[in-house]
A = this chain, B = another copy of it.
């Protein structure tokens, strides 16, 4: 499934006329490996463990590109670095541990209704959503 994500992203890049460079491959691969929810900087460091030549800026630019292609989404949670999450697998959400940063996925989606109501009230054409709970995971509660 990680592989599928890679395929999907590489295809999207190609189909939109962007070149499939080594750096982009490495970034996309690492991104799908993490399952998302990393900052650009963290991702850059991760990518470098496997592809040392890749520069920080390339990571920023690639994330930007993936955002334009709606494959990835930045989440701003405070004053620190933006985190990027994968958008491609529509319905699943995250439990993010504040202590260890572990990300647990779940797919209990009761939002269609809210989505509809909110969309109508604001005349907003809803295309997707992001739901995350923050707190402490089992291991970190001790």
* In contact, B117 and A108 (Cβ under 8 angstroms): yes
- Answer whether residue A18 sits at the interface, using C-beta atoms and an 8 A cutoff: no
* In contact, B133 and A115 (Cβ under 8 angstroms): yes
Residues of B within 8 Å of A73, CB to CB, are 134
Q: Hey, what's the 0/1 contact readout for A74-113 against B, CB within 8 Å counting as 1?
A: 1111110010000000000001011000001010101100
CB distance from A132 to the nearest CB of B (A): 5
Give which listed residue, B70, B82, B125, B133, contacts A129 with CB less than 8 A. Answer: B133
Name the CB-closest residue of B to A121. B106
Q: How many copies does the complex hold?
A: 2
Name the CB-closest residue of B to A79. B82
* In contact, A114 and B122 (Cβ under 8 angstroms): no
* In contact, A133 and B118 (Cβ under 8 angstroms): yes
With A70-B98, A108-B117, A118-B95 known to touch, is A134 a contact of B123 (CB < 8 Å)?
no
Known: A75-B132, A79-B82, A127-B134. 16 other contacts (CB 8 A): A75-B130, A76-B77, A76-B79, A77-B130, A95-B122, A95-B124, A97-B124, A110-B114, A119-B133, A119-B135, A123-B137, A124-B135, A125-B137, A127-B136, A128-B133, A130-B131
